[in-house]
Structure 1
Amino acid sequence: MPQDPVPAGDIGRRLALRREELGLTREEVAERAGIAAAYLRYVEEEPTALPGPTFMLRVADALESTVPQLRGGAAGMPPGMGEAAVNPVFTPLGRDECLALLSDHGVGRVAVTTEDGPAILPVNYAVEGGTIAFRTAPTAAPSATVGRDVAFEVDRVDEALSEGWSVLVLGPATQVTEADDVRRLRARARSAPWAGGDREMWVRISPVRITGRRIRAGSG
């Protein structure tokens, strides 16, 4: 079965993390693996590096690991299954940093109450004018957010470094009905909805409160 592509930079982070866990220098790993220390440094530090299978086999053996583990063999599992960082540091995020992390588009989760009970659903979103907009269908569960105060969340977990952040947005959701607004949002959309289908109902969340937090590994 073909492997899913590994995000650029993930292999290097995993190599460096495993090497540090073993207390080895790049030179020591390079000697064990029979590779150039300069190339190992390149792989660890260059986000676009994609080393070949021979390199990966040699380095995996030198690091007492396996190629699937170094490539992120648990990528298909829920995030956060790894060990917590040593001495984790919890930091609240300010509004400006939260907005920067939201960027201008992505995939987030919206909390909604449906006929079957509460649900948290992923949606493709776009940020415009300080508001968050997403597409859905009138019969889809996210449409139930219209006319209600909702919670919207985006997060990122870095399994290699046991770090991550999350941003939570609270505010009322309304349907976008003005034709010009719909055309503008459609033009700004970076992607069709991942769920597919006819999803031309736009919902806008106007933030009343934005909070966030970041967890990083501490020193020591």
Structure 2
Amino acid sequence: MSTSERSRSKGRPPQPGDIGRRVAHRREQVGLTREQVASRAGVAATYLEHLETRPADVGVETVTALAGPLGTSVRYLLEGGLDLPPGQGTPSLRPVVEELQPWECWARMEPGGVGRVALSTSGGPQVLPVNYRILDGTVLYRTTTRSVAATAVGKQVAFEVDRLDEALGTGWSVLVTGPARQVTEADAVTWFGKHADPRPWVGDGRDTWVRISPEKVTGRVIRSAGTTASDDAP
């Protein structure tokens, strides 16, 4: 199901695509109306409104035309500073920080993806990115037997997932703490291996499965005033 389809199923209007968010954010930064930007870029104002408010496929020619009036680069509109550390965007004009309820934290983690495991090692504390999935109320990731991530087994660890919207200056972060254990049940390992999920970005050969059983789940969201926390949910 696409993002727009999920939005309609939840009774919310479709969310704009990444380029649309960056265009709208940059336009507000430079203090231009849609009509002004559209006129200078040679596009229809109705098209610019659609781009800023709904998912849309945008050609490089259109992005190039918009970059000039917005005083930014084509690369920024297309990639949003992909090769820069996160958090380089401009903060929201009216930020609101709220605590997330546990069920809201789980809803944000549920799709899986990339998170970070924080643990103590003989060389000091380390934070490691891992591909993860949620299974039966626990966090599951794959690694190799001799990896640092595998030394989490038998320890209290922290697991963090976040999402930042560089264009809008909003985002959320969820923190899970609890013991990490290796999944050794033969049936479970067979099932996991058959589904190969989560599939590590760094390749196969990672057959050690680690499960984090949460003892505490907390989270926060930074949103713009006038929106709700659910507007920023995946």
Same fold (TM over 0.5): yes
Aligned partners of 1:126 and 1:188 also within 8 Å? no
Q: Which amino acid aligns with 1:200?
A: D
Partner of 1:23: 31
Most deviating of 105-114 and 154-163: 105-114
Q: How does 1:142-157 map to 2 (within 5 A)?
A: 142-157=149-164
1:191 Cα offset (Å): 4.6
State how far apart, in whole Å, the 2-side matches of 1:53 and 1:82 are: 22
1:189 Cα offset (Å): 4.2
Partner of 2:89: 82
* 2:127 equivalent to 1:120: yes
State how far apart, in whole Å, the 2-side matches of 1:86 and 1:169 are: 30
Instruction: Quote the sequence identity (%).
Output: 50
* 2:202 equivalent to 1:195: yes
Q: Which amino acid aligns with 2:48?
A: L
Q: How does 1:49-88 map to 2 (within 5 A)?
A: 49-88=56-95
Most deviating of 165-174 and 63-72: 63-72
Aligned partners of 2:91 and 2:168 also within 8 Å? no
Q: Which runs of 5+ in 1 are unaligned?
A: 1-7
Aligned partners of 2:128 and 2:149 also within 8 Å? yes
Q: 1:179 aligns with which of 170, 179, 186?
A: 186
Partner of 1:205: 212
1:105 Cα offset (Å): 1.9
Most deviating of 178-187 and 107-116: 178-187
State how far apart, in whole Å, the 2-side matches of 1:73 and 1:170 are: 32
Higher helix share: 2
Q: Count residues with an aligned counterpart.
A: 211
Q: Show CA shifts across 1:188-218 (max 9, x none).
A: 4445211224110111111110000001123
Aligned partners of 1:155 and 1:167 also within 8 Å? yes
Q: Show CA shifts across 1:88-133 (max 9, x none).
A: 2110000000000001421110012223221100111111110111
Q: Which runs of 5+ in 2 are unaligned?
A: 1-15, 227-234
1:64 Cα offset (Å): 2.3
CA RMSD, aligned part only? 1.7
Partner of 1:164: 171
State TM-score, norm by structure 1: 0.89
